[in-house]
Amino acid sequence: MKIIRNVLVIGLALLPLGCAIAPSNDEIAAQATAMLQASFKAAGQAGLDRLNQDETQRVCSGLAGKAPAKDVAERIEKLNLATIRYPADGKLLGDWKNGEKIAQEGRGKQFSDDVAGPVGANCYACHQLTPQELSYGTIGPSLYQFGKLRGFGAETQRYAYGKIFNADAYAACSNMPRFGHNDILTEQQLKDVTALLMDPQSPVNK
């Protein structure tokens, strides 16, 4: 018992020293970044530039899954809202049939994908879009009857297009990819997916 007690005393004596030399959050972040950069190699279209975080990503990563404070969320949303590029022709809706194909397509932008091949949004991985889908993700809300419930007007169309372009403009630190901001989808693809949500004839609104 005496030996155990002595070990405990020595351990307690060393605790302040351990706290004093513990790395800061910035040092831990720097070490983690260095580890990532050393571990990942550029392959095909997947370059190391993907490891570079912009301000929004840095702030959201630092929250470790926690919701941002109100002032932080407002700053992030304002910053991202300014990045949205609406079509010069003013037309926000494309072909919903193409939009459905894009929503169901999960390929594109990975190192193993054909650069000339299809690039999809993989919407069904996170959302329900139609009742016919037997399998869909639940990370995001159901989008079934999106336009029917919210109205098919210009304001809702603009919101839908903007949300797909850069989700962080409307919900700071969203899990949703910033499809337009990060050039995942082209302008025409963004229009087509918006039409899937907004066209009255789309299966989403039936």
Q: What's phi and psi for 43, nearest 5 deg?
A: -145, 115
Tell me the pLDDT of the chain averaged across its residues: 89
List, for residues 100-120, the tens digit of each pLDDT value.
999 999 999 888 899 888 999
Give the per-residue pLDDT at 19.
52
List, for residues 32-41, the tens digit of each pLDDT value.
778 877 888 8
Predicted TM-score (pTM) of the model is 0.82
Spatial separation of the C-alpha atoms in residues 164 and 65, rounded to whole Å: 22
Please give the residue that has the higher pLDDT: either 31 or 136.
Answer: 136
Give the per-residue pLDDT at 2.
44
Give the per-residue pLDDT at 34.
83
Q: How confident is the model at residue 5 (pLDDT cuts 50, 70, 90)?
A: very low
Spatial separation of the C-alpha atoms in residues 105 and 88, rounded to whole Å: 27
Close Cβ partners of 187 (under 8 Å, ≥ 6 residues apart): 85, 87, 180
Q: How confident is the model at residue 14 (pLDDT cuts 50, 70, 90)?
A: very low
Residue type, 168: D
102 close to 192: Cβ distance less than 8 angstroms: yes
103 close to 196: Cβ distance less than 8 angstroms: yes
Spatial separation of the C-alpha atoms in residues 103 and 193, rounded to whole Å: 7
Q: Please give the CATH superfamily to which domain 96-205 belongs.
A: Cytochrome c-like domain (1.10.760.10)
Give the per-residue pLDDT at 169.
98
Give the per-residue pLDDT at 177.
97
- Over residues 123-131, mean pLDDT: 96
Q: How confident is the model at residue 48 (pLDDT cuts 50, 70, 90)?
A: confident
**Residue spans per domain, the chain:** 2-70, 96-205
Q: Is the pLDDT of residue 140 over 60?
A: yes
